[in-house]
Amino acid sequence: MTTTLYRGGTVLTPDAPDATSILVSGDRVAWVGGADAADGLAGAADAVVELDGALVTPGFVDAHVHALESGLALDGVDLAGARGVDDVLARVRDAVRGPAGRRAAADGAPLAGSGWDDALWPEDRPPRRDELDAAGGGAPVWLGSADRTAAVVSSSFARVLGLDTLPGWRDDGVVTGEALRVAWGAVREAAEPRRAALEDLALRAAARAGVVAVHEHSAPGSAARRDLAALLARTAEPGSGLPQVAAYRAELCETTDDARDLLEELPGLRGIGGDLAVDGTLRARTAALRQPYDDVRAPGDRTGELLLTAEQVSNHVAAVTRAGVQAAFRVTGDRAVAEVLLGFRAAAEVEGVEALRAAGHRLGRASMLDAPALATLVLLGLTVAVEPVPEAAWGGDDGPAVRRLGSGRAASLQPLADLRAAGVPLAFGSGGPLTPAGPWAAVRAAVRHRTPDQRIPLAAAVHAHTRGGWLAAGLGDEATGLLRVGAPAHLAVWRTDGPGLPALGPQDGDPVCVLTVRAGRVLFDASGGTGRSAA
């Protein structure tokens, strides 16, 4: 059993506030403490890593990832953080001329990318089809939106698939609905021979960001069950060199047999649901609201749409509870929150409150929560998995949230402090490819929430993005996600602007990951100045 001593830094542990060093033996933490004791242990360790003042934290857990789509963005056209239409077109031109464009052309596949959010741009629109044609030189191009509710496609891509004959087609090249389903199906089919490589690309990027585990949110529209099973098998052991995958599958169950059949085919499944959407998104104005959107531009429904009813939610929760696994839903608007919680309460009347609490069900996103909703979350023991970075991008006095909802409703989005005060368990995710894996960006967004009274302490934010992720998936023992003796050795080492914990002020940079360790096995090492010596 190999032992490694990391010494001479700051170790974030609940058991020793002044800890500077940590000893890992095999896959477990064997000791945490100060410099004097560390010097005495060095001679017995197989290896000693000199931290040179670096920060050691528990490894982070990304509670919402789509590995294939994230890999496509990294391999093709990554539009997360794009500043406008011109920026998108420049990225397309660069990609077409680069390795991704040449590979796509050789394979007869479209150049794929994702992550655009036109609500954040000065143009307030995605690129037009003619602009994409010019930037791509006539090549087939597919660019998915950040919230996965729309895409913009080039003329050549649309022509091959006959998208202009399908519901959801717009002449400017934007596709939604049926046209989007067909377009994404073609992208996915073209990517299938490289699925494992693309998923691994995304997971390696997560490891470089200090992430030791991800929650993969699989759905029939993006992966077959066998694809998810293969991903689980490939990442099951730390020796894979990849983060651990906690798998969710978005299939609606009506009966317990439905749930058990799914669990039999996917025995490593942590939850049934995940991306099981109760409503749409604020970007697309399809999140279900009690009061109309402030900026609806077209006649028709001004309050979004419900995709699931309380009855469907109740049947699913009851079936999944009886099957002994977690149910999970994605929900955004306040009307949708009320609907999904009505379904949970109906299931509790049949199955019992304690049965639901024991199952550890969860909601994803949950942007709009009021006091009655918080009370129901507490009563039923629900976890909330949020995505702080995209929520923060929508904030500010003149952000898209204010335009969509008005200042009052926008200020109440993602009430982290209220959730924490109520005792609702929290987990943080990136929504990848909605935003890149970058846990400190999420921590920063939480501690500097756009609404001051919803900010949470640094320690609480780090907990949500580390131990909170393990707890949300029902994984690990009582110490998983903590750096304490006996806990699994999941950790990350960071260079910071100063000693100790990062300040995360407006002028401070995020910590830079130099080492990621899963259960004692190194996933990523760019330690540079961090010294390593044989004992």
Report the C-alpha gap between 295 and 293 in whole angstroms: 6
Instruction: Give the pLDDT of residue 529.
Output: 40
Average pLDDT on 519-524 reads: 97
Query: How much of the chain exceeds pLDDT 70, in percent?
Result: 98
Domains of the chain as residue ranges with CATH: 3-59+483-534 (2.30.40.10), 199-472 (3.20.20.140)
Question: Regarding predicted confidence, which is higher, 59 or 503?
Answer: 59
Q: What is the mean pLDDT of the chain?
A: 94
Average pLDDT on 99-116 reads: 91
Q: Given pLDDT bands bounded at 50, 70 and 90, which one contains residue 300?
A: low
Which DSSP letter does residue 530 get?
A: S
Strand order in the sheet with 151-153: 77-78, 111-116, 141-145, 151-153, 174-175
10 token code pair: 């700051």
Query: Which of 23-27, 112-116, 154-158, 444-448 is predicted least confidently?
Result: 112-116
Contacts with 274 (C-beta within 8 Å, 6 or more apart), sequence order: 64, 215, 217, 218, 219, 248, 249, 250, 328, 330, 364
Please write the tens of the pLDDT for every residue from 365-403.
Answer: 999 999 999 999 999 999 999 999 988 888 777 789 999
Instruction: Give the pLDDT of residue 157.
Output: 96
With contact defined as beta carbons under 8 Å apart, do 228 and 268 qualify? no
Instruction: Give the pLDDT of residue 297.
Output: 63
Please write the tens of the pLDDT for every residue from 20-56.
Answer: 999 999 999 999 999 989 999 999 999 999 999 999 9
| Whether residue 433 has a cis bond before it, omega within 30° of 0 | yes
| Residues shown for the chain | 535
Query: Which residue pairs, CB below 8 angstroms and at least 24 apart, start in 10-14?
Result: 10/53, 10/54, 10/55, 10/56, 10/499, 10/500, 10/501, 11/56, 11/483, 12/55, 12/56, 12/57, 12/58, 12/462, 12/483, 12/501, 13/482, 13/483, 13/484, 14/482, 14/484
Instruction: Give the pLDDT of residue 534.
Output: 36
Instruction: Give the pLDDT of residue 535.
Output: 36
28-33 vs 21-25, strand pairing mode:
antiparallel
Average pLDDT on 124-153 reads: 95
Model-level pTM greater than 0.85? Answer: yes
243 token code pair: 């983060």
Query: CB neighbours (10 Å) of residue 71?
Result: 26
